[in-house]
Structure 1
């Protein structure tokens, strides 16, 4: 896999500029195009309003949306610099659905955790991860650069994890050290050694670690290992399911996304 197109979700929340700078650094590293994306729906009018009141409220909301999207674009343009190719896409639409539609032209999608965005511009991280069909790089609030010199692959033999490893190959090949980590009572049966051998064939400098962790402690063990080895990228499958359009993560995925201080490259 190569990376020719990086897409980043833009908003007005905490960490938005840092997220764009991180995405821009990836675009520069891989000589890729960076596309910024922002959207928000105009809220429906309240019940019982007359037509003129509804029209006036809509015009006010439309003006506010235009202002918000203009600010998003300014943050994007100021943060990505002038050294890379960029494009911009915006709409009056649900932020998550619009990002998913635009991502058909992306190799990787860079997003925040969603909860810190302001003004209705936040994406639903679960919906994007499960619908986008692309690898998703989830950034913590602070970092604006990703060295990816030391990478942890949180391995469990599932289709999601296999897709995540394939998506991460451009990073894994270039890393100084890759750790394939399997945790839990069944860790020795998950095929971590085979994954390490596979990555070695692709040129990765890789070692295997099996962590003895109780079922409820898997996320903590993986994050502690990531901290001990001074890694700044965690690669893993994104596990969850949908119910009535409400997106729910499995325990390990949820715990890592809520607490990880490093970037997480995920695939569903």
Structure 2
């Protein structure tokens, strides 16, 4: 299996260079295209908030400021893309409606790459991250400093729909790994989660995987992070937002624990 197109949303900020570098790390082993997509704030999203109470001149000034900020951001994003030496890099600047454009590009990309800020709710791309994972249900790589495609990759397995989807979609990544470990916590729920079934699924596709069982109860998210640390995993594959988004927002959940951690890079799918 292979990937042909990796997408990296860009904000025109300082993290764009890191996002592109992570995208290169993911695209290069597959000879894939890297698409850098400048994703500005959309004027169409802001206008309804202005309403009729805004005087014409004030509204025009506000819209002009947004347009100017978008142009400056695009220039910065283009500059970051210009410094990237990857031969299969392509740059795209989205126009209104930005939300629809980002969705369309993501649907024709194999993986969407973000740096660590947006998944933590920081920066201009925080909503774009939520859009990609929860709304578009695209596989997403949260790239951190220890990102290595050819290192140890750990797959969190609990037998659910989200975990199964992530485990399948990560196969091209696992084929490049030096070591694959399936980690499972049988006591964390009532579902039959025999990890040997996933191990056999991988074996039939040419990927040899080890199994580690987490015997304790308690916080699954922190247990997964501890296991990843012990294994020296550079990437953790996991299903995202297994509960409803409202439950995840109120109670945190395993996904939120992983996103707020200082652990390995994350390959997530909802």
TM-score w.r.t. length of structure 2: 0.85
- Could you list the per-position Cα deviations for residues 166-225 of structure 1 after superposition, in whole angstroms to 9, with x for gaps in the alignment? 1111111221111100025157941201111211222223111110132x4211111011
Q: Tell me what 1:227 maps to.
A: 229
Q: Tell me what 2:77 maps to.
A: 72
1:15-54 → structure 2 map (5 Å cutoff):
15-37=15-37, 38-42=39-43, 43-44=46-47, 45=50, 48-54=53-59
**Superposition deviation, residue 230 in structure 1:** 0.8
Task: For residue 2 of structure 2, give the secondary structure of its aligned residue in structure 1.
Answer: coil
- Unmatched 5+ stretches in structure 2: none
Q: Tell me what 1:197 maps to.
A: 200
Distance 1:146 1:16, change over 3 A: farther
Q: Tell me what 1:83 maps to.
A: 87
Q: Tell me what 1:3 maps to.
A: 3
**Superposition deviation, residue 124 in structure 1:** 4.3
Task: For residue 187 of structure 2, give the secondary structure of its aligned residue in structure 1.
Answer: coil
Contact 1:155 1:180 in 2 (8 A): yes
- Could you list the per-position Cα deviations for residues 26-61 of structure 1 after superposition, in whole angstroms to 9, with x for gaps in the alignment? 221111111112221233447633212322332222
In the comparison of the two structures, how many residue pairs are matched?
260
Contact 1:24 1:84 in 2 (8 A): no
Task: For residue 232 of structure 1, give the secondary structure of its aligned residue in structure 2.
Answer: strand
**Is the aligned partner of 1:126 residue 2:144?**
no
TM-score w.r.t. length of structure 1: 0.86
Aligned with 1:104 (options 102, 107, 119): 107
Contact 1:35 1:89 in 2 (8 A): no
Q: Tell me what 1:262 maps to.
A: 264
Contact 2:186 2:193 in 1 (8 A): no
- Unmatched 5+ stretches in structure 1: none
**Superposition deviation, residue 121 in structure 1:** 4.5
Aligned-partner Cα distance in 1 for 2:185–2:262: 17
Contact 1:7 1:110 in 2 (8 A): yes
Contact 2:25 2:149 in 1 (8 A): no
Distance 1:33 1:124, change over 3 A: closer
Contact 2:170 2:237 in 1 (8 A): yes
Worse-matched range after superposition: 234-243 or 58-67: 234-243
Aligned-partner Cα distance in 2 for 1:200–1:249: 36
Aligned-partner Cα distance in 1 for 2:253–2:137: 21
Aligned-partner Cα distance in 1 for 2:250–2:105: 23
- Aligned CA RMSD, in angstroms, stands at 2.6
Distance 1:129 1:208, change over 3 A: same
